[in-house]
Structures are given as structure tokens and as C-alpha cells.
Amino acid sequence: MPAFYHRPGIIGVCQSEEMPELPEVERARKLIQDTCRGYKIASVDSTPDTIVYTGGDDHEAFACPILSAKEMLGRTIESCERKGKIFWMNLSGQGRMPVMHFGMTGMVILKGVEPAWYVRRHKEVAKAWPPRFYKFALKLEPQEGSVSDEPRELAFIDSRRLGRLRLLPAPVHEHPPISLLGFDPVLNHPSFEEFKGLLAKKKGTVKHVLLDQSFSAGVGNWIADEILYQSRIHPATPVPALSETQLEALHHYTRAIPLRAVEVNAEHKQFPSDWLFRHRWGKGTREKKSKTAKAKAAKRGNGKGQEGSEEEEGIDKGQGEEEGAQPTGKRVLALPDGSPATIEFIDVAGRTSAFVPQLQVMPEGFQIKIPVKRGKKHKKGDSDTEESELSSEADVKVPVVAVPPKRRAVRTSKVKTEELSESPASPVKRKRKAPLEGHKNKDKDKVPRRRRSGAGIARSRVKDSSELSDAPDE
């Protein structure tokens, strides 16, 4: 049994906030190839998902008793292939093949074996079956010639629903989206001259070109950053500005980086210690976490900061995306002269790009355009010494409150901050009617709480008229 099936539980290929790239997808392909080849699909259990299932297919196309009899049910898994970040199972007999793409959190799980986690673990390790967030689960039966004689179950899960599942006819590589992919750096890397010819057709930054799946299928964010770091090329360098030496280095490392990652089965702890990948995840927070974890370990009395332990690396088991990424005993990435390198992060091609400014320099005559945050424009005549936008002259909007339709005429108002500091004007008092004569209310300025009945008011009026009639005539 391969080395990555060493512990009981559930095995799979999982991703962190970074998308699964060529090495992680290749690990999933090898998982199916090494454990499920020759097995017959006895049953298919799928869940509805209008986002993950695509290409005109839904979950019923995978598991419906009518459709699955022609598509997946009863067919044998002959092999599993991959190109770029897409992989598929070749099934025996007539019918289409299941094609899978992980998205960001896609994962293939084999029941009964511990998952081979990527940089970050899932918050919940699936113990029940079918696992949480599964899209389809296969019950597999061994046959003559299968890799094992034990029944097995395989599931595809995706918590964020950014993966894709579809059915394509054979040969799969002749149909979109696989037919639209560029070269695979591991499977069919082009020659240097072909590589230069492909680059000549591209525009924009070199990081953007490497992420273009129609150029290099399978290269994602961290692989592109690693290729550019090893090639000593700034990620924002325009493609036409690349020198011949840089092109040669780019051609070499575009294959060397993913090939090395595939050789160690995408185990990041086995990546070379001088890779940028081993140092990029902490973003300056590793030392603080390391001290905290070592203090907790010393307090518990287990490990006490032993060299090579998870506590020394500042990681609790299953805690964060940097678990085991940093090489033991090496806190920082070193420059060729041995001094510590500085890792900076900028946005290139819409992705967070890590680079070392001491080694990756922009070509002469080019500079990085830093995006400027758009705010309120200053009035003419404003100088740097004048007050900011939140000065006393700035306008402050009163929050809008929902009001009935008849009162919508007055919804918002603008007042100056200096007006807010002044004392509010005294409210206008309504003119109150004088209380009726003979009422016992001592406060004559207030309207009595209870009004007299109509009979009482009538008697008062009669009394008033009688007094007027008794008055002597002038």
C-alpha cells in the first residue's frame, strides 16, 4: 500500500483557501488509480446541487436508476487520467465518463483511510459515511483483476460548492473544457522554442500568463509564485520585457516546480526548504504563534518545544493553513548571502502574489502601478496643511430612517459639523386651549387629561347663559 495510506480513518485530497493545483489533483488521480482500478460500480448515491453539477447534467445523471444504468452503474473503473486541474475516470462499456474539478475545497475521500490533507485541515474530519458535503458516493465491488479484494467506497465532497462535476463522452480530452486547456507541465511540457512561441502570443504580466489555463494547465497561484521566485522574475514583469536568460529560467522552472511537488505526492513538508512555499503562509505572524504554542506545550508538559515538533513550528494539530509548512529549525527564507529575505505581498492578476524584492526586481524602465483609493476630491486651493475631509467644513449626512410615504419628502438632510456642536433650538410650543372654567386642575397651562362629557359641557353652557340673562340692562 502506498505511503500516503498509512493511518486508519478516511483518506482524501483537500484544499485550503488556495485552490487545488496540479500536484494536489495528481494526488487525487493516483488515489483512484491505486485503490479503485478494476472495481465495479455497484451503486451511486448523489445529492442535488445546481451549481456543482454542470454541462447540462444534474445529480440524477449520476445516480438516477434509469440514467445511471447507461452512464455509471455496473461499469468498471479502468483508469483515472488528468490534465491540468481536471481529472476523470475511464469506465468500461458504453456511456459517458465522470469528469471532476475540485474548485477551492473539492476533495476525494476513500472510506476507511485517513485523509492526506493539504496545507489546512477541514474544521471537521469526516467520520460518518457518507461524509458531510458529499456530492456523490460510489459503492465499489472487487472483481477479478482489481487492485484489492475488499469492498470500497469513494466520495467526492465540496463544502464551498466551487467544484464542478459533469459527464463527457470518450475520448474525454477531445471535448471542452479539457480540449481548451494548454500544455500540462508534467505530461507534455513544450520545448524552449515552442515555449517562446506561445509566450509571444500573450500580453500582460508574466504572473497573469502563468495563471492562464489555456497557456499552462494546472499552474495555480502558489506554483506561479514559486516558479517566478526560483526564476528571479518579478510577478508584475510584462511578458515583452523578459530577457533571454529569464525566459530560459521560466521554461525550466515551469516544469521543475510541479514535477518536484508531484514526486513527493504533494506533501508540502517534503518540499525543498529553500522554496518560497515553505515560508509564505505566516505573513509575519509565525514567530508570535510559535512562542504561544511553545508556552502552552511547556505548561502542558508534553513536548516542551522539542525540535521538529508541531509545537515548535507554532502549530496546533489541525489549526491553520501554515501547518508544517515552515522547515524545522529555519525561521526565515535566506538570501544567497545568508541574510534573511523579505517576503512581500502584492495584487497581480487579481491574486495575492508573494515575492522577494531583493531578488525579484522589476525591469529597468518599468514600475508597479499602485492602485489609489478613490475618495472625495479636494476643492481648489486646498493645500496639504489644510484640514482633512472630516474637518469642520465637511458635510455630515444624517442617517436615513424608513418613513411612511406621506413623509418621504423629508428623508435626509445635510448639516455642518459646527452646527452639530451648537445647542439645539428650543422646540416650538403649541398653543393650548384654556381649560374649561370650574375644572380643578391647578396647572392651567396643561390640558386636562380627561375631557368632560357632552352633558357636562352642555350644563356649563346653560349656566353661563343664565348668568347673562340675570345681568341688568344698561
Q: DSSP of 238-283, one letter per residue? A: BGGG--HHHHHHHHHHHHHHHHHHHHTTT-GGGS-TTSGGGTSSST
Overall pTM surpassing 0.95 (yes/no): no
In percent, the amount of the chain with pLDDT more than 90 equals: 44
pLDDT over threshold 90, residue 276: yes
Domains of the chain and CATH, by start: 3-180 (3.20.190.10), 191-294+322-371 (1.10.8.50)
- Give the C-alpha separation, 18 to 162, whole Å: 12
Nine-digit cell at 50? 445546481
Sorting pLDDT into bands at 50, 70 and 90, what band is 387? very low
- How would DSSP label each residue in 75-119? -BEEEEEEETTEEEEEESSSS-EEEEE-TTTEEEEETTB--B--S
pLDDT of 9 reads: 35
pLDDT at residue 234, rounded to an integer: 96
CB 159 within 8 A of CB 131: no
Higher-scoring residue by pLDDT: 59, 6? 59
Categorise residue 121: left if φ over 0, alpha if ψ from -120 to 50, beta otherwise.
beta
**8 A C-beta contact, residue 262 and residue 232:** no
Which of 316, 446, 276 has the alpha carbon at shortest distance from 268? Answer: 276
26-37 as b/e, with b when 16 or more CB fall inside 10 Å? bbbbbbbbbbbb
What's residue 428's pLDDT? Answer: 59
What does the pLDDT read at residue 442? 54
Residue 405 is a catalytic residue: no
CA–CA separation, 67 and 72 (whole Å) = 8
Q: Does residue 117 contact residue 167 with C-beta atoms inside 8 Å? A: no
Lowest-pLDDT choice from 54-58, 349-353, 419-423, 455-459: 419-423
Label residue 308 by pLDDT band (50, 70, 90). very low
| Model confidence at 153: pLDDT above 70 | yes
Per-residue pLDDT, averaged over 101-107, amounts to 90
Give Cβ neighbours of residue 411 (< 8 Å, ≥ 6 apart). Answer: 400, 401, 403
Q: Of residues 18, 81, 83, 85, which has the active-site annotation?
A: 85
CB count, 10 Å around CB of 175?
17
Is 124 in the active site? no
Nearest CA to 333 among 190, 226, 243, 208?
Answer: 226
Mean pLDDT for all residues in the chain = 74
Active site residue 21: yes
pLDDT in tens, 407-419: 444 444 444 444 4
Grid coordinates belonging to 305? 518545544
What local confidence, expressed as pLDDT, does residue 438 receive? 57
Task: Summarize the confidence of residues 434-443 as an average pLDDT.
Answer: 57
